[in-house]
Amino acid sequence: MCGIFGYWDRKQEPLPEAVLRGMAQALVHRGPDDEGIHHRPARGVAIGNRRLSIIDIGGGHQPFVSDDGLVAVVQNGEIFNHIELAAELRAQGVRLATQSDTEVILRLYEREGIACLRRLNGMFAIAIHDAREDALFLARDRIGVKPLFVHDDGQRLLFGSEPKALWPALPRKPGMDLEAIHHYLTFNYIPVPWTAYQNVRHVMPGTWHKYSRSGGVQTQRWWSLADQREQDQPFDAWAEEFMALLDDATRIRLRADVPFGAFLSGGVDSSTIVGLMARHVKEPVKTFCIGFEDPRYDESAFALQAAQRFGCQHTSEVAELNMLDRWPQVLHHLDQPHGDASFMPTLRVSELAAQHVKVVLTGDGGDELFAGYDKYARFFARPDALSMAQDDFEHQYFDSISLFSPNAKAALYRPEVRAQLGGMDSFTAAAQPWFAEARHFDRVNQALYLDMQLLLCGNNLVKPDRMGMAVSIEARTPFLDRRMMEFAFRSRGATKLSAQGDQKHWFKRAAAPLIGEALAHRKKQMFTVPIGDWFQGPLHGWLRDTLTTSDVIQPLFEPAVVASLLDRHRDGSGNFTRELRALAALALWHRDALE
């Protein structure tokens, strides 16, 4: 795990070394162990890396450069099948000087070009400067586990693992992107490719960009989950394949030259991962969880049950439930607003783990692949969910996951903001293109496909990456192994959500022999804190002051509408926890980032 950064100037105008050092310094939390920059001022290009040393501690310094000096590579992430790829390269006579997975990327690229990406099983954001073609490649892993941001003004491209890495190379920080904020109010996060900043965008998952002197950008999507086709399979065969794939995905994610462990909540996802880890290690698995004194939010007893079942070295902490003092710190690391309150406890459990390990495995991705959220059961309990017209299904599922509806947003905006947005529609811009790719799937899988592309990439993978990197630990996600994702979308929706609304029902049956019936079938519990209660009671005054004095809330939104949300939430006539939480996150982010 690392942070990468750099630039490509089409007029070959160089950036000063001090600017590159500033870009590196902005990512030091992602890579506190090492720094390397490949700079060619005469060509107007640099690629750099801040390294968190995990594989080949002594030999893994980046950038890796070809023997002739013409190709240089940096990456953020890990290639989990690098051992097998290295063996294959050596069998073909390729000399590898290190055990580093980044050197494997370099040697594969020399032989196969950018098509080598398909051979990589991992999480990664990669930059390759190829002087032979006078080009820069940027590439991102299949589902966006690792972030990569770009700013392109037509002459100079800047890139970095976090937006804050771009700021030292710009004359001023970009202003707020109003369209992105419009989508934020729909989703409670900003969907890719937008960011909160004008002209700063994500490199999309499963995509590479090629920058050349002509000024154009060649973009190609090199992997798509939509390429899968559903197949029928009996439960026994399905369960055998599911467990075998997840076992191997877990096994190869234990490759590290530093201590590793796992986040363990006692839910079916994390318990299954820990149970599989225990098969492949000689020492007890180090597991970490935080609990709360309020039983509504405390899962620590289930985590302890799983830890004892697998003989883990378990570390648990009862955390202070009120974590709102951490919110500004969380938003600083996110670089943009997120209304999800679970970032705060995720930061705390990351801090706990960082005292003991540099790598953790997590259960992220299991809910989106196998229908783990209650919202799926609620939506598909509708009698016409499977029979309604396709267009109606897409709009109604979208409406069911939206925070502010189009009408609610229109009422919230001041008239001049409403006019500036000009009828911008979040469904058309952000959701409809993904639905269009997924119409060959059944309805359950269509809903999951949308959440894989929007919710997972835009919010749920941001959480372990930014909160882990804030304290310099790497999070690895076995469920998001390429083989596991493709298997999940070859599986029909009925294997995930039963006709009775049982979520992950085949998954739970398959995992029960490993983790036990009690853990496999316990009710899902969200990892969060009771912000709604606080907004109604002890922190209502703080919330009202935050919103009514904000330099972003007041210019954008009708004061009377914001006041109505506050009043109705306080007196209990409505529950506007999520709406107020989103507005508060926007205000706090703006205060830190742009005021």
pLDDT digits 0-9 by tens, 64-112: 999 999 999 999 999 999 999 999 999 999 999 999 999 999 999 999 9
Lowest mean pLDDT among 24-38, 154-168, 294-308, 546-560: 294-308
Please indicate, yes or no, if residue 408 is contained in any of the structural domains: no
For the chain, what is the mean pLDDT? 96
Q: Do 143 and 22 belong to one domain?
A: yes
Strands, sheet with 71-79, edge to edge from the N-terminal-most edge strand: 64-65, 71-79, 122-130, 135-140, 207-212, 217-221
Domain assignment present for residue 404? The answer is no
Tell me which of 553 and 531 has the higher pLDDT.
553
Say what the pLDDT of residue 526 is. 66
Are 367 and 463 within one domain? yes
Task: Over range 498-503, report the average pLDDT.
Answer: 95
Maximum C-alpha span of the chain: 74
**One domain, residues 545 and 484:** no
Confidence class for position 214, pLDDT limits 50, 70, 90: confident
Alpha carbon separation from 561 to 401, 417, 564, 591 (Å, rounded): 22, 14, 5, 21
Say if residue 554 is in the same domain as residue 465: no
Say what the pLDDT of residue 324 is.
87
Domain end, chosen from 520, 554, 577, is at 520
Residue pair 267/303 in contact (Cβ under 8 Å)? The answer is: no
Q: Are residues 450 and 567 in the same domain?
A: no
557 found inside a domain: yes
φ, ψ for residue 473, nearest 5 deg:
-125, 150
Average pLDDT estimate for 440-446: 98
Of 484, 501, 520, which one is at a domain's C-terminal end? 520
Residues 448 and 470 in one domain: yes
Are 32 and 141 within one domain? yes
Q: Are 258 and 359 in contact (CB under 8 A)?
A: yes
Catalytically annotated residue among 2, 289, 312, 457: 2
The answer to whether residue 330 sits within a structural domain is no
Answer yes or no: is pLDDT of 560 > 90: yes
At residue 527, the pLDDT reads 66
Total number of domains in the chain: 3
Rounded average pLDDT over 250-271: 97
**Mean pLDDT within 43-71:** 97
CA–CA gap between residue 174 and residue 181 (Å, rounded):
14
User: Residue 553 sits in which domain range?
Assistant: 531-593
Residue 575 within a domain: yes
Which of 480, 498, 520 terminates a domain? The answer is: 520
Residue 186 lies inside a defined structural domain of this protein: no
Angle 107-111-113 from CA coordinates, rounded to 5°? 100
Provide CB contacts within 8 A for 380, sequence distance 6+.
386, 443, 444, 447, 497, 501
Q: Is residue 302 part of a domain?
A: yes
Is residue 410 domain-resident?
no
Residues 266, 123, single domain; the answer is: no
One domain for residues 463 and 569: no
Residue 35 and residue 152 in one domain: yes
313: left (phi over 0), alpha (psi -120 to 50) or beta: beta
Quick one: DSSP state of residue 187?
H
Tell me which residue of 197, 201, 166, 165 sits closest to 181, measured CA to CA. Answer: 197
The CATH number of the domain holding residue 165 is: 3.60.20.10
CA 294, chain centre distance (Å) = 28
pLDDT band at 595 (very low <50, low <70, confident <90, very high): confident
Tokens standing for residue 258: 């530093």
Residue burial 257-277, b: 16+ Cβ < 10 Å; e: rest: eeebbbbbbbbbbbbbbbbbb
Q: What is the pTM of this model?
A: 0.97
What local confidence, expressed as pLDDT, does residue 529 receive? 74
What CATH number corresponds to the domain at position 311?
3.40.50.620
Based on the fold, state whether residues 460 and 496 are members of the same structural domain: yes
> What proportion of the chain, given as a percentage, has pLDDT over 70?
99
User: Are 40 and 16 found together in one domain?
Assistant: yes
Residue 116 among the catalytic residues:
no
